[in-house]
Amino acid sequence: MTQHHPPLSEVELLISRMVDHEADAGEVATLYERAGDDPVLYQQLNQSLADHARLSAHVQRDIARAVNVNLPASGEIARGPSSSQAKPAVIDLMWRSAATIGWAAVIALAVIFFGQDRAGNRDGELNVPSGRYIDRSIVEPHILQREDVQGQPLEPLPLQTKQLPDGTWEILWMHRSLERIVTDEFDPAWIRDPSETTQ
Amino acid sequence: MSREQMHSQVDDAALVARARGGDRSALEQLWISNRRWVAAIVLAHRPRNVDVEDLMQQVAVKVISKLDTLRDEGAFKPWLRQIALNACRGAARGLRPTLSLTTSETPERGQTVAPPASGSEHGRAMVDHRDAAARLYRQVESLPSEYAEPLIMRCVQEMSYAQISEILELPITTIETRLARARRMLREEMSGDTLAGDIGGDA
């Protein structure tokens, strides 16, 4: 992006103020008077207005859901466990990402591990994520059965590739799905880490 | 300070006082009347691949849990902006490895816009329009945040210079200059874009 900033011209400021509905009648008259001598100014004004309209429409669409985010229902919101706790690499990546994004995403990422087939360490080579999970036994069932769960499939996670004696390849992978719920009932105790406590 | 800014601060201060006293409706009113521009701040500062909605939820939680720490009730907007900035910075610190969490239905950065099923002239014009907007938006994302921020605030809520000035705690003339400069940067970038012909075509 351009770093050098030559001074703005009066016309540039004027056009920008017109786009933003900040120009007064005198300024509008000035611009039209100048455009009489230099019709390119009309083109610049039209272009600026069109760009602003396009950009506004795009931005509005981009944050349509975000501008409707409400305050949590309860005053005290429990937060997720600290990201500084030790955890396996794959989980660590996901957890750090989730911890920065908020409690809703913390739940979402933990939910990834629901329903996963923990295939076991066959041949000792499998890249199976092990670690944090949501303890379904202590989560109110209605929370995980809500209709507003938003699911999004992720790319399959490769576990192992191995060439077989006949020259073919055996490829093991794990299906993953990302699910997300929004709830005000989150309790950090849902998240279990087998490496930290004996269950 | 403009009359508009004074009214805004008085309104906020009164609502903050009531909210601190346990008035839930005041707290909600405070949030609802400010959340659109907060979304603009988040959009301008968020790391790529982090969902605006998730960051907004973080901000909402902080508003509740930290409102007691606000020293000057009349400075609610700058305080709220700082919370939004902190949420974005926190996300940036923790997201060095890229992991997309977005479920947005809108195109991500760099993605092309899917054309509508119709092959009509109207359909193609729609695609052109949306594609041009997406390219323009990508350019906004690459602007320095001090320019992107007021520009997006204008786009989200058509905020006046005085309102933007109050939130960013900058003189109105600075807001005016930054917006004009942001537009110049966009013009320059778009004219350098090999696809810019589409944009200029309907000027």
CB–CB contact B61 A152 (8 Å): no
pLDDT band with cut points at 50, 70 and 90 for residue B2:
low
Cα–Cα dist A98/B136, whole Å: 30
Is the minimum CB–CB distance between A85 and chain B shorter than 8 Å?
no
Contacts of A59 (CB under 8 A, 6+ apart): B40, B43, B137, B152, B155, B156
DSSP string computed for A52-105 = HHHHHHHHHHHTTTGGGPPPPSSSS-PPPPPTTS---HHHHHHHHHHHHH-HHH
Could you report the per-residue pLDDT of A120-158, keeping only the tens digit for each?
333 334 444 445 667 667 777 777 766 555 555 566 666
pLDDT tops 60 at residue B59 = yes
Count of Cβ atoms closer than 10 Å to residue B184 Cβ: 20
CB–CB contact A76 B65 (8 Å): yes
pLDDT tops 80 at residue A107 = no
Is the interface score ipTM higher than 0.85? no
The residue whose two tokens read 């008259």 is A29
Count of Cβ atoms closer than 10 Å to residue B76 Cβ: 23
Contacts of B62 (CB under 8 A, 6+ apart): B83, B86, B87
Virtual torsion, Cα A174, A180, A185, A190, nearest 10 deg: 10
Hey, what are A190's tokens? 């849902």
Predicted pLDDT at B124: 57
Cα–Cα dist B70/B128, whole Å: 47
Tell if the pTM clears 0.80, that is, is over it.
no
Predicted pLDDT at A4: 64
Cα–Cα dist A64/A172, whole Å: 40
Q: Residue A78's closest chain B neighbor by CA?
A: B61
Is the minimum CB–CB distance between B113 and chain A shorter than 8 Å?
no
Using a CB-CB cut-off of 8 Å, the residues of chain A touching B112 are none
Of B101, B106, B140, the CB nearest to A101: B101
pLDDT tops 80 at residue B99 = no
CB–CB contact B203 A63 (8 Å): no
Could you report the per-residue pLDDT of A8-65, keeping only the tens digit for each?
999 999 999 999 989 988 888 888 888 888 888 888 888 888 889 888 888 888 888 8
What is the distance of C-alpha B147 from the center of its chain?
A: 11
A185 three-class SS:
coil
Cα–Cα dist A118/A126, whole Å: 10
Mean pLDDT confidence for B116-138: 64
pLDDT tops 70 at residue A94 = no
pLDDT tops 50 at residue B46 = yes
Predicted pLDDT at A38: 86
pLDDT tops 80 at residue B122 = no
The percent of residues in chain A predicted with pLDDT above 70, rounded, is 50
A 116-145: CB under 8 A from B: none
The nearest CA of chain B is from the CA of A166 a distance in Å of 38
For A141-150, letters b (16+ CB in 10 Å) and e give: eebbeeeeee
A106 in Cβ contact with A99 (< 8 Å)? yes
pLDDT tops 50 at residue B36 = yes
Q: Which of A46-50, B26-30, B97-101 has the least mean pLDDT?
A: B97-101
What is the number of residues in chain B?
203
From first CA to last CA, the distance across chain B in angstroms is 37
The nearest CA of chain A is from the CA of B10 a distance in Å of 22
CB–CB contact B52 A178 (8 Å): no
- The DSSP secondary-structure symbol of A181 reads -
Kindly state the helix (H) or strand (E) to which residue A11 belongs, with its residue range.
helix A10-19
Higher pLDDT, A101 or B184: B184
pLDDT band with cut points at 50, 70 and 90 for residue B172:
very high
A 7-46: CB under 8 A from B: 8, 12-13, 15-17, 19-22, 43, 46
Q: State the best of A59, A106, A179 to mutate against chain B, taking most chain B CBs within 10 Å.
A: A59
Cα–Cα dist A80/A194, whole Å: 16
Q: State the best of B24, B181, B198 to mutate against chain A, taking most chain A CBs within 10 Å.
A: B181
The residue whose two tokens read 């016309």 is A11
Q: State the best of B30, B33, B57 to mutate against chain A, taking most chain A CBs within 10 Å.
A: B57
The nearest CA of chain B is from the CA of A168 a distance in Å of 32
For B145-159, letters b (16+ CB in 10 Å) and e give: eebbbbbbbbbbbeb
Residue type, A109: L
Cα–Cα dist A18/A41, whole Å: 12
pLDDT band with cut points at 50, 70 and 90 for residue B93:
confident
- The DSSP secondary-structure symbol of B7 reads H
Q: Which of B31, B52, B19, B16 is nearest to A71 (CA)?
A: B31
